Structure 1
Amino acid sequence: MSETQTVFSNDLAGIVVGETAISDVQGDIGLLSYRGIDINELVDVSFLHVAWLVVFGEWPTDEERRRLKSFMCSNAQLTHPEQDLLGQVPRELHPMLMLQGMIPLLQMPEEETLGRGTDAEHGLFITAKISALIAAHYRLGQNKVILHPTAGKLRHDNFLTMFHGKAPTHEQVRMLDAAQILQMEHSFNAGTFAGRVCASTLAPIQSSIAASIGTLFGKLHGGADQAALEMAMEIGSPDKAEAYVKDCLANKVKIMGMGHREYRTVDPRAKILKPMAIASCQDEESKNLLATLVAVEEACQREFGARGQEIWANVEFYKGAVFHSLGIPPHYFTAMFAMARVYGYIGHFLEFREQSCLIRPRAAYVGSPPQARDQSAA
């Protein structure tokens, strides 16, 4: 390599760009932990308790639990001005674009009730509003009345009730809690890093979260869950999966939800989510979709194995089947992802602001060299 060549990485693969104490992704051995606790130990813990742990790095006290539950419930109700704003959003607009546009327009609370600082207060306020916005946007699209949370109910019990208009079963709430805990945080993923770049300019937390959500919308990031289930719908049945996989590989078409940039073995979240999907998919349509996904994964493993490679489904691959079993339409899957990952965004915003600096990388210029001005033409 000549001395004039610049070493760089277009995708920043393997480049360390900062430190974090929030989550640890050990891709070589397939481990994920939040604040030093293995994800397998957190998946059955109360959702809001894990959220508090991710954001603040410690378990909430009894008083903090009480205040947090009350805070989230009261702010999951849209005010009349917020409903008016949402009413101006086209019904057919993708919910991720709705969230990206609506979050900066929310009026942040002026008083603190959680005692954790203004940024944390505003961040958690946004998390409460996201669930309300998703449910309300869906119901408006169905020409149904917007529903409000009920005091005392668990967070996802309220959400599913506000979304569908009927109370979910205990098992449905437990399943949604687990799925959302699994996707709450994942180190310096693209969405989180986009939020850190935004935060580095000293933009407010609502701008940072909106930037992260806009990044999460991409099919190569959070949108893979919708794409994977729609793929299964397109394939139609398990017996057609192998031909589909061979055709994709022959034409260099990416199979959504297969493989992960960080994991060289099974995604630990997928190991938990796949059995949940199998248990939850009981009706004939859901069973067929799940069986098709399983057949796609098995066909991928055979084809890649024949090439001396290993590949596994990631968390996005089976998450869509779980959400489908809960009655969530595919185009709302990524918004559900945002509803969980936002706690990680807040944690990183608060962590980064402790030693904030402007993120400003250099670029290697490869265009035409500067030209001397032709004086005679002046």
Structure 2
Amino acid sequence: MSSNDTVFSPDLAGIVVGETAISDVQGDSGVLNYRGIDINDMVGTPFLHAAWMVLFGEWPNAQEKSQLKAFMCRHASLTHDEIDLLEKLPKGLHPMLMLQGMVPLLCLPEESSLEIDLDAAQGLFLAAKISGLIAAHYRLAQNKSILQPVPGKLFHENFLTMFHGSSPSEEQRRMLDAAQILQMEHSYNAGTFAGRVCASTLAPIQSSVSASIGTLYGRLHGGADQAALEMAIAIGSPENAAAYVTECLANKVKIMGMGHREYRTVDPRAKILKPMAVELCRDDESKRLLATLVAVEEACQKEFSAKGKEIWANVEFYKGAVFHSLGIPTHYFTAMFAMARVYGYVAHFLEFKNDSRLIRPRARYVGPAVGSRKQSAA
């Protein structure tokens, strides 16, 4: 096959670039599974147990559960050096840029204190540190003291306590567990693929995770959760939703959180998150924002239905309402996404290193032919 006959896809749509046993996205039927377990069956399990399954393909035994809980609590605590680094950053720096910059600066353990290989232990170390960094960054921005995790508490119970300074309710902790499990892994999404490209150069795990986090930040990827709720805030009320949608479609403005690159039907994660948002959003402001999001989705469906098309909200669309009800500011939404998706990034790093090869696609040259441009006379 000549170079001119090579398959060309600028966005790699439909191009198979690897194999994975970590998760399966069946976009046409709206099905997602982790390690062969349907996402509906994963939600409701303890968060760290689901993370272990994503990483290693099996549930942790009693000893592993105990060791994992203690490990994650210990390393969610920031050292004096890590706090010093964090304090030197601009207070207004977006949390995603903070994470992308801080992750490569962390001193990774040189030995595994868990009965797993060193790369896996370092990946879990990074995941624990990310939770501590997000909470500490928020506290510093509020001119409040940084809090440390308490041994014995569940992972997200510790996180919400470190973030807000007060213990969450059992319902709040359970909701955060579910929301974070739903966004833990999603096959070869842009962030994961960026991490695999980085790993293919034999860069270390912290570089791979940092590359993934930087990619997740984009509004067409993880940043859609922040953009969707800020859109609802700007719209103001459900009564304004239809006019907003009509104007956006007339001006070809993308409505953040509507539609998904992979799913041709309802995003299975959104099917779970939407009723969760309804259950959790009880105060007046949260109810108004949720009602506005519902009205936007309904207006979009009406507009697209008139054109013989279907469109559905994706996981980012209603996730923001859940996070808002948990007291998480909008500009921290994507960092919360990174805090969950890091387990998928680490799982792909571990999988890829077993059969690593440098990812080096070809480009179709469209510039001038050799010799077609003559040097002008002096």
On whether the aligned pair clears a TM of 0.5, the verdict is: yes
What does residue 361 of structure 1 align with?
361
Distance (Å, rounded) in 1 between the aligned partners of 2:342 and 2:376:
60
Superposition misfits of 4+ residues, deviation over 2 angstroms = 2-7, 372-378
The structural deviation recorded for 1:118 is: 1.2
Q: TM-score, normalised by structure 2?
A: 0.98
Q: What CA RMSD, in Å, does the superposition of the two structures yield over aligned residues?
A: 1.5
Equivalent residues in 2 for 1:1-378, closer than 5 Å? 4=4, 6-371=6-371
Match of 1:34, as an amino acid?
Y
The structural deviation recorded for 1:112 is: 1.0
Shift in CA distance, 375/88, structure 1 to aligned 2, threshold 3 Å: closer
> Secondary structure at the residue paired with 1:33?
strand
Distance (Å, rounded) in 1 between the aligned partners of 2:281 and 2:372:
69
> Secondary structure at the residue paired with 2:33?
strand
Shift in CA distance, 162/20, structure 1 to aligned 2, threshold 3 Å: same
Distance (Å, rounded) in 2 between the aligned partners of 1:377 and 1:224:
53
Task: Give deviations 1:72-99, integer Å, cap 9, x for gaps.
Answer: 0000000000000001011100000000
Distance (Å, rounded) in 2 between the aligned partners of 1:191 and 1:374:
43
The structural deviation recorded for 1:7 is: 3.0
Match of 1:60, as an amino acid?
P
The structural deviation recorded for 1:5 is: 5.1
Structure 1 alignment gaps of length 5 or more: none
Structure 2 alignment gaps of length 5 or more: none
Distance (Å, rounded) in 2 between the aligned partners of 1:370 and 1:105:
45
Distance (Å, rounded) in 2 between the aligned partners of 1:374 and 1:53:
62
Task: Give deviations 1:92-147, integer Å, cap 9, x for gaps.
Answer: 00000000000000001122111211111111000000000000000000000000
- Of the structure 1 ranges 77-86 and 365-374, higher mean CA displacement relative to structure 2 is found in 365-374
Q: TM-score, normalised by structure 1?
A: 0.98
Match of 1:155, as an amino acid?
F
> Secondary structure at the residue paired with 1:24?
strand
Match of 2:17, as an amino acid?
V
Shift in CA distance, 310/149, structure 1 to aligned 2, threshold 3 Å: same
Match of 1:90, as an amino acid?
P
> Secondary structure at the residue paired with 2:344?
helix
Distance (Å, rounded) in 1 between the aligned partners of 2:176 and 2:59:
21
How many percent of aligned residue pairs carry the same amino acid? 75
Distance (Å, rounded) in 2 between the aligned partners of 1:316 and 1:166:
26
Distance (Å, rounded) in 2 between the aligned partners of 1:190 and 1:159:
27
Distance (Å, rounded) in 2 between the aligned partners of 1:318 and 1:78:
31
Match of 2:141, as an amino acid?
G
The structural deviation recorded for 1:43 is: 0.2
Distance (Å, rounded) in 1 between the aligned partners of 2:90 and 2:77:
21
> Secondary structure at the residue paired with 2:24?
strand
Match of 1:43, as an amino acid?
V
Match of 2:115, as an amino acid?
G
Distance (Å, rounded) in 2 between the aligned partners of 1:9 and 1:252:
23
Match of 2:302, as an amino acid?
R
Distance (Å, rounded) in 1 between the aligned partners of 2:129 and 2:142:
20
Shift in CA distance, 376/369, structure 1 to aligned 2, threshold 3 Å: closer
The structural deviation recorded for 1:290 is: 0.2
Aligned length: 377
Task: Give deviations 1:213-266, integer Å, cap 9, x for gaps.
Answer: 000000000000000000000000000000000000000000000000100000
Distance (Å, rounded) in 2 between the aligned partners of 1:354 and 1:272:
34
The structural deviation recorded for 1:371 is: 1.7
Distance (Å, rounded) in 1 between the aligned partners of 2:154 and 2:309:
44
Distance (Å, rounded) in 2 between the aligned partners of 1:214 and 1:27:
25
